[in-house]
A and B are shown apart, each in its own frame.
Chain A
Amino acid sequence: MMTTKILIPTALRQYAKNQDSVQIEGKNVGELLDNLTEKFPDLRKHLFSEDGRLRNFVNLYVNDDDVRYLRGTETNIKAGDVISIVPSVAGGSDSNGEFSKAEIERYSRHLIMPEVALEGQRKLKEAKVLLVGMGGLGSPVALYLAAAGVGRIGIVDFDVVDFTNLQRQVIYSTNDVGRPKLQAAKERIQGINPYVEVDTYETRLTSENALQIFENYDIIIDGTDNFPTRYLVNDACVLLGKPNVYGSIFRFEGQVSVFYAKEGPCYRCLYPEPPPPGLVPSCAEGGVLGILPGTVGLMQATEAVKLIIGKGEPLIGRLLLYDALAMKYRELKLRKDPKCPICGENPTIHALIDYEQFCGIGTPADRVVLPEENEITVRQLHERLSNNRGVFILDVRQPHEYEICRIPGSKLIPLNELPTRIHELDRSQEIVVHCKMGGRSAKAVKFLREAGFEKVKNLKGGILAWSDEVDPSVPKY
């Protein structure tokens, strides 16, 4: 009977009496293997799986040919043929996209959807999303992205939770009032989903730190409430080539879009210039329906998830306008502006700029700065009132604010009505003007002084300061 030489790889020699080759009888590859493993039984489990099939990482070569491309184990052997057992080497990790049993259960409603499935869930787990601002918009976005299984969430904010936040910033509970927002938010996110890693940046986002923070993330979600930061977020995203999921809210109306300069317009293509300071009131000034940031934030979260899993039509090049009172959505087509100073054909902005200055914040046009002698502190006013010195208190807020709280004995003339009702005031009397925080009343003082009122002063810090320092029973809003 003919014998054939079989070369044994280093790894298996210990099971073949340490020989690097053996001579075995047989007509074809199958017979050779049978006889080989009969002679050296320890080889069997390394060559064959439990069901008796050749393991898929064990390769048999007849001379230079893989038997898989010949006739497999049926391949006949001629005199002088040499058989080699050649390893292919395979392996890999269990995790990274491979989910634990607990995670499979947690995400099962995603896994059974063909649009997400294991592949999409793995993308979510590998995704890194940054939320700029942990207020009304950031709250629902963080809650839902955490629940959806986004692997890493970065949050930027520097505020402390206060009572006025609770009407809409649903990530915080009443017990969190007074705590740093990031600390409370991180606990809540990890309570929802312990598989999420949370990075906290307890700082104001600035031109100095934005690029460094953004660099670590795939998607940036803009949940800011002011123009300087909005332009900063936009510019940093354009410079780094990252998508900016934008949302904004005011009273009953919201806007959502995805600004991704690589594939469409950026925020500057839509709004090349910021509005004049003071023209567009913030939520703190104008108010907002508490539910609105929930609706808008969840549209932002939806867009982020779509970008991550690469499904659907992203809101790139489209601005969605939402009106909660009418319960209507409208969509505007946005075009990339070839003249856009940052994402256009000949960009003039190549680095982050001073956004406060760009938006005219802190300039005289923005707010009235009064000389010190035209101002009075709440303590000084309190002292005067206690000494029963005749002071006329003029409140220039809106009637609905007056309804919330007031300083006893004050008279209400909203700022916008002041020019037509100026005759109601007595020039000879000492007048102290106040509003919520001191901004509008400063304008009123300036106006009255120009109209010849010489004994008029502005109450520094407004009724909020009054509540803080004089009468804590006055509610803050």
Chain B
Amino acid sequence: MALKIDRQHLELIKAYGEESYPDECCGFLLGRNVNGDKVVVATLPALNARESAEKYHRFLITPQAYLECQKYAKQKNLDIIGFYHSHPNAEARPSAYDVEHGWPWYSYIIVSIKNSKASDVTSWTLEDDRSKFKQEKIIVVNE
């Protein structure tokens, strides 16, 4: 299992993170499951629905936003295959809060933003027993 994404979308996610800094950004990964690998075809930014005082370390995508995105994805013949979010001034590792709120199966891309510049980008999936996230390989395609 790996996550395949092209350079352009990866850069887009970094740009979203830098733009939202010092708040967290969040959004959807749309794509397909191809031979066990997830392939990102599109990214869609979402509104961070947390109250502004918390956005520096929290994000929330509402179920309404999820349903709308799902509708959009269906039209394009795609699936929601995961989410991305940024960690301003923190490492690109899932937090305890991420684990607590994680969904199985989806890929969670995390981009670390330090001093308003994107640094590491990683991807993670939740373990079946919800105990932790395990890192997933990102394969950058079409370089």
A residues at B contact (CB < 8 Å): 10-15, 42, 45-46, 57, 59, 61, 66, 86-98, 119, 122, 126
Which of B4-12, B92-100, B134-142 lies at the binding interface? B92-100
Most buried by B among A57, A86, A90, A93: A93
B62–A92 contact, CB under 8 A? no
With A10-B79, A96-B89 known to touch, is A91 a contact of B105 (CB < 8 Å)? no
Interface of A is mostly: mixed
A91–B106 contact, CB under 8 A? no
Interface residue B59 (Cβ < 8 Å from any Cβ of A): yes
CA distance A14 to B33 in the complex (A): 14
With A89-B66, A96-B56 known to touch, is A46 a contact of B103 (CB < 8 Å)? yes
* CB-CB nearest in chain B for A42: B128
8 residue pairs from A and B, CB less than 8 Å apart: A10-B79, A89-B61, A90-B59, A91-B85, A91-B108, A92-B87, A93-B24, A93-B90
Q: Closest 5 A-B residue pairs measured CB to CB?
A: A93-B87, A93-B90, A92-B58, A94-B95, A96-B89
Contact count band on B: 35 or more
B104–A14 contact, CB under 8 A? yes
CA distance A11 to B130 in the complex (A): 13
Interface of B is mostly: mixed
Instruction: With both chains docked as a complex, state the minimum distance between the C-beta of A46 and any C-beta of chain B, in angstroms.
Output: 6
Q: Which residues of A contact B36 (CB under 8 A)?
A: none
Interface residue B2 (Cβ < 8 Å from any Cβ of A): no
Q: Which residues of B contact A13 (CB under 8 A)?
A: 105
* CB-CB nearest in chain A for B46: A89
Interface residue B83 (Cβ < 8 Å from any Cβ of A): yes
Contact of B97 (CB < 8 Å), options: A59, A86, A91, A119: A91
8 Å CB interface, B21-50 against A: 22, 24, 26
B104–A87 contact, CB under 8 A? no
B60–A10 contact, CB under 8 A? no
Q: Which residues of B contact A95 (CB under 8 A)?
A: 57, 87, 89-91
With A14-B105, A96-B88 known to touch, is A91 a contact of B66 (CB < 8 Å)? no
